[in-house]
Amino acid sequence: MESGVFDVIGKIKEIVFVVCTDRKEDTIRIISARKATKKEEETYYGDY
């Protein structure tokens, strides 16, 4: 497995944007998490 940094948009109570890394095969480390911007919310819902 190659490790790297990747971003994820998901929903917890509201839409959030998370940057994380997968340095170990069974561990994902969150680098940062914040409320998604309006543009990121549109991407999440598919409203391009």
1-48 pLDDT tens trace? 456 888 888 888 899 999 998 877 788 889 999 999 999 999 999 964
Those residues whose C-beta lies under 8 Å from the C-beta of residue 44, and which sit 6 or more positions away, are 9, 10, 11, 15, 36
Domain hosting residue 33, numbered range: 5-45
Instruction: Note the pLDDT of residue 2.
Output: 59
Q: How many domains does the chain have?
A: 1
Q: pTM (2 decimals)?
A: 0.68
